[in-house]
């Protein structure tokens, strides 16, 4: 099972709380997290793109770095780990994005990939006057399909004459092209339509599950991606987004979680959910569908909360999930969490023991 880290490119990471660790994003922080990931044998690191936060007392995600710029810097200071940057497809034309990706692929010597963000939070785009209207909710995966196809054409041959509903290329050129003539694509489609897009156009797709230590929730989502792959004749691999909150004992780790819950930023959650509710036709499985139905908790992703041994056992069990290729980790405190994972959790994992020995 591959392990990745979801970099803290936005303030306060992935806990919408005023009592969780509070920190601002910086290149230095993300460099340190990524170098720890490389030291401990992680296979990849990914940074999101967020253009407007949720506000509230915690100012959740009101402060963010830019993904491609950050990953270009990290490509220059790493040697092995794969790096993924995220693009909000409404903000950058695909031919320009293809050239940006080739540049970071060159800096990293082939260790680069692109995460496709279709755009669910219209306030991000309305503030810049580029929101295309409510029709985007219904057509966003058609838009993304054309977007990715243009990039794939340019990476493969250096030329695109693609003609579609949203993009029309006329002898469009990008050179140089990647040495592999391909750059990996990641998607995060949770709805059935999103998984169809991922199967047809992506190499990996992030899936989500909820609850605490309830890994049984994961298999239904990998099963849906397996079905989408079968329909498309594809092999898109499932990656699970999750959070680790660990300590010496189960009780100490759970006490941390309860402390974070006590500070849940309900104002920020309400703003997020109002944005999610704008897509009135969203499927129940979709990202916004899950937000609207989520409990009033600091995060709705799967949480592994417990002692180092407990978390290691849960991760080993996850590794046996059919169709799951890997996990992307978040932590309550990233620097402490990365160190805990590398020195206390990974050495206990049967599925990662060889890498733990190599890191040591």
Binding-site sequence positions for FMN: 49-50, 115, 124, 140-141, 191
Would you give the DSSP letter of residue 251?
A: H
The 10 Å Cβ neighbour count of residue 261 is 17
CA-based nearest residue to 326, from 188, 205, 184, 235: 205
Binding site, annotated residues: 49-50, 115, 124, 140-141, 191
φ and ψ at residue 151, rounded to 5 degrees:
-65, -45
**Taking the mean position of all CA atoms in its chain, how far away is CA 311?**
21
* 344 burial via Cβ count (<10 Å: 0-12, 13-18, 19+): middle
150: region left, alpha or beta (phi > 0 left; psi from -120 to 50 alpha): alpha
Exposure string over 73-95, b if 16+ CB within 10 A, otherwise e: bbbeebeebbbbbbbbbbeeebb
* 322 burial via Cβ count (<10 Å: 0-12, 13-18, 19+): exposed
Alpha-helical regions (H) of the chain? 27-39, 67-77, 94-108, 123-126, 135-157, 192-201, 219-232, 250-262, 266-276, 287-293, 308-319, 334-340, 353-359
Q: What dihedral angle (degrees, nearest 10) is formed by the CA atoms of 220, 183, 243, 288? A: -60
CA-based nearest residue to 312, from 258, 271, 353: 353
**Taking the mean position of all CA atoms in its chain, how far away is CA 205?**
9
**Taking the mean position of all CA atoms in its chain, how far away is CA 99?**
22
Would you give the DSSP letter of residue 348?
A: G
- Length of the chain, please? 360
């Amino acid at each position: 099972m591959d392990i990745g880290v979801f970099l803290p490119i936005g303030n306060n990471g992935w806990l919408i709380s005023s009592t969780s660790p509070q920190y601002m994003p910086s290149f230095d922080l993300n460099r340190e997290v990524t170098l720890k990931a490389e030291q401990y044998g992680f296979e990849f690191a990914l940074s999101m793109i967020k253009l407007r936060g949720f506000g509230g007392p915690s100012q959740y995600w009101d402060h963010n770095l830019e993904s491609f710029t950050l990953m270009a810097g990290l490509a220059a200071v790493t040697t092995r780990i794969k790096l993924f940057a995220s693009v909000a497809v409404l903000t950058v034309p695909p031919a320009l994005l293809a050239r940006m990706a080739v540049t970071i692929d060159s800096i990293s010597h082939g260790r680069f990939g692109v995460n496709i963000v279709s755009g669910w939070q219209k306030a991000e785009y309305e503030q810049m006057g580029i929101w295309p209207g409510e029709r985007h909710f219904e057509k966003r995966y058609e838009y993304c399909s054309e977007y990715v196809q243009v990039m794939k054409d340019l990476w493969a041959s250096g030329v695109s004459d693609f003609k579609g509903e949203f993009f029309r290329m006329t002898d469009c050129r990008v050179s140089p092209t990647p040495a592999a003539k391909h750059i990996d694509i990641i998607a995060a489609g949770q709805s059935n339509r999103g998984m169809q897009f991922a199967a047809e156009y992506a190499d990996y797709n992030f899936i989500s599950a909820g609850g605490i230590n309830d890994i049984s929730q994961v298999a239904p989502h990998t099963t849906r991606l397996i079905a989408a792959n079968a329909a498309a004749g594809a092999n898109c691999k499932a990656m699970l987004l999750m959070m680790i909150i660990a300590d010496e004992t189960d009780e100490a780790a759970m006490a941390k979680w309860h402390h974070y819950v006590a500070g849940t930023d309900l104002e920020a959650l309400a703003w997020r959910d109002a944005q999610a509710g704008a897509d009135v036709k969203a499927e129940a499985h979709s990202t916004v569908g899950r937000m609207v139905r989520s409990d009033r908790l600091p995060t709705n992703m799967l949480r592994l909360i417990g002692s180092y041994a407990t978390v290691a056992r849960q991760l080993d069990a996850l590794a046996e999930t059919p169709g799951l290729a890997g996990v992307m980790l978040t932590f309550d405190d990233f620097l402490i969490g990365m160190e805990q994972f590398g020195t206390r959790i990974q050495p206990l994992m049967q599925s990662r023991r060889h890498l733990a020995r190599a890191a040591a």
